[in-house]
A = this chain, B = another copy of it.
């Protein structure tokens, strides 16, 4: 009796649940310490102390009717202004509260954008490998996700194929950097060339093409690598952000959209996003956590923790002979499967109690994703198991 669109999704979801349950079962049999579960992108570093302080202060001193009450569908003006000011300080932009919409995490922000922009059949281009949920977010509004094949040498977007696949129906381009599942950061040169292509194609087709940049990992960057600020490169850019990773608050569902005044039809787009936020049933981002993040915009969780994990895992795996792209950000490592069928490789890995995710779910078969947002001990203890896996498969 469920709708046709959902039938396949419910099946797929059972497969994910089955994997999760298999992990739980393995932990029960072998002990949690002897199972190396790298399957989930779930932050494992506590939020900064400032989050707790903000909650305590707000709950004791803020008017409860404001703290827990309705506000504009776009969010508290004070929160939106603080977000704008923080971005202005970091990126030299000139945003104000009227460019920001607080959202129920980044996932809702993307849904709001697609609900606002997509007519059925409109195309959204994205670059493999990409976060698997993009397929669903676009399908929710009967859009068509157009995948650009991966450049496995660099995992930067393949821009020649991109230029070829833009059509008169291309409404959005969706990028995610630092990237899930590769940890690669798209370079300034990538964005410069991407913008040139987009500007040319907009002229050719007489259309507006919005570049949507999904940035939940913006602050999770290692060493002195810079994450380019995308609106600097291309006028029709909309930024989606989440505090799930930077403040380790994934369960609280808090993020924002930035819609710069420069985008085509700004007033309509901002107005539509505000309405979409309401009618998709979010109504507004959770009120207490709007006021919490307002006070924690310059805070981050302990990123050095993830960096140590990255270094140890990357060195360990490459020493064993595995081929990996070194991640500059996020908390994922994308490893080449020694076997063409990476699903079979993931199955063999389970023999050694290693849980990793096939790349085909991210539109990039022949690779596997290792989420290293785990205890450091898990990394260290897993390396002998990876050694056995290498012995069997390399």
A residues with CB within 8 A of B: 1-6, 9-10, 13-14, 40, 42-44, 46-47, 51-52, 55-56, 59-60, 64-65, 67-71, 104-105, 107-112, 115-119, 122, 133, 136-137, 140-141, 208, 210, 248-253, 264-265, 268-269, 271-272, 274-276, 278-289
Contact = CB atoms under 8 A, between A and B. Distances in A.
A251 B116 contact: no
B65 A1 contact: no
A251 B104 contact: no
Given A64-B46, A65-B44, A284 B140 contact: no
Contact of A275 (B13, B210, B278): B13
Nearest to A279: B136
Given A275-B9, A279-B9, A280-B140, A253 B52 contact: no
Contacts of A105: 281, 283
Contact of A10 (B122, B141, B253, B275): B275
Nearest to A119: B3
A252 B282 contact: no
Q: How many copies does the complex hold?
A: 2
Contacts of A111: 280-281
Contact of A107 (B250, B283, B287): B283
A130 to B, nearest CB: 15
Contact of A281 (B1, B69, B137, B250): B137
A378 to B, nearest CB: 15
A123 to B, nearest CB: 13
Q: Which 7 A-B pairs have the closest CB atoms?
A: A251-B287, A107-B281, A108-B281, A111-B281, A136-B279, A2-B272, A6-B272
6 contacts: A3-B115, A3-B272, A44-B65, A105-B281, A280-B280, A282-B282
Q: Interface centre among A1, A42, A51, A136, by most B CB within 10 Å?
A: A1
Given A1-B208, A140-B280, A280-B280, A251 B14 contact: no
